[in-house]
A and B are shown apart, each in its own frame.
Chain A
Amino acid sequence: QVQLQESGPGLVKPSQTLSLSCSVSGDSVSSDLYHWNWIRQPAGKGLEWIGRVSGSGSTNYNPSLKGRVTISLDTSKNQFSLNLRSVTAADTAVYYCARESHILGYCGGVSCYFYYLDYWGQGTLVPVSS
């Protein structure tokens, strides 16, 4: 059974860097079958995708975060991490890590892959406050 668990500081000051780790059990983060994602949710609001890293270390990020984000793998610890620089109060949220799987299907008669977030961590609240 795959399990993900977020960890990191309980509070970050404005202008500093928010750093979180996600420990994975039941799977290898270096597997080429999956991507590893970060998603956040401000209190009482919806979900915002932050970015992802593949098992080979390639990344995709939300353009709205304007180059403040880095996601990376630590294969020795079977973890992946999130760094979000120059934070403000607007970055206060519950941060989730999630595994992304894919499956082969058909789109208009042509084969294609469908991607989805099938396993999530429980989430960790990170307030940004002085």
Chain B
Amino acid sequence: DIQMTQSPSSLSASVGDRVTITCRASQNIDIYLNWYQQKPGKAPQFLIYAASTLQFGVPSRFRGSGSGTEFTLTISSLQPEDFATYYCQQSFTTAYTFGQGTKLEIK
């Protein structure tokens, strides 16, 4: 299995802050990396594919970057609706695996 490790596990921030979440893969996954956002009691929502390409309709304050084994998700100016849990997921192999999640909370 390819293990995906996110850091931090939780993060407190304020509206307007810039935050960065890191996702590390246990082996080289090129840019086969997706990001999802999940709000409490809801299904995950797809944000980014190929490490950095935003899904249609995702605000431009979201930015993904990285390749190989290290990836980041940056939200440039937090909005109230961005407080949620974020997951990375590798699609390099069809035994898909997710990171453990990063919970973004309001400070």
A residues apposed to B, CB below 8 Å: 46-49, 52, 60, 62-64, 96, 98, 103, 105, 107-108, 114-118, 120-123
Q: Which of B31, B46, B50, B97 is the one whose CB lies under 8 Å from A49?
A: B97
Residues of chain A within 8 A of B97, CB atoms compared: 49
Determine the chain A residues whose CB is within 8 A of the CB of B44 once the complex forms.
Answer: 47, 96, 117, 120
Choose among B34, B43, B98 the residue that contacts A120 (Cβ–Cβ < 8 A): B43
Seen from chain B, the residues whose Cβ lies within 8 Å of a Cβ on chain A are 1, 30-32, 34, 36, 42-46, 49-50, 53, 55, 87, 89, 91, 94-101
Contact A108 B30 (CB under 8 A): yes
Q: Which one, A107, A108, A117, A122, contacts B36 given CB within 8 A?
A: A117
A selection of 20 A-B contacts at a CB cut-off of 8 Å is A46-B87, A46-B98, A46-B100, A47-B44, A47-B98, A62-B95, A63-B1, A96-B43, A98-B43, A103-B50, A107-B31, A108-B30, A114-B31, A114-B32, A115-B32, A115-B91, A116-B34, A117-B89, A118-B46, A120-B44
With both beta carbons as reference points, the residue of chain A lying nearest to B34 in the complex is identified as A116
Main secondary structure of the interface of B (DSSP, over half): loop
CA distance A48 to B97 in the complex (A): 7
Query: How many angstroms between the C-alpha atoms of A62 and B95 in the bound complex?
Result: 6
Which of A62, A108, A116, A122 sits near B91, CB closer than 8 Å? A116
Contacts of B53 in A (CB 8 A): 105, 114
**Residue from A63, A107, A116, A120 in contact with B95 in the complex, judged by beta carbons closer than 8 Å:** A63
- Compute how far the CA of A5 lies from the CA of B3 in the bound complex, rounded to whole angstroms: 29
Chain A nearest CB from B44 CB (Å) reads 6
Q: Give complex CA distance A49, B43 in Å.
A: 14
* Chain B residues whose C-beta falls within 8 Å of the C-beta of A105 in the assembled complex: 50, 53
* Contact partners of A46 in chain B: CB under 8 A: 87, 98-101
Closest residue of chain B to A120 (Cβ to Cβ) is: B43
Q: Can you name the residue of chain A whose Cβ is closest to the Cβ of B31?
A: A107
Contact of A116 among B1, B49, B101 (CB under 8 A): B49
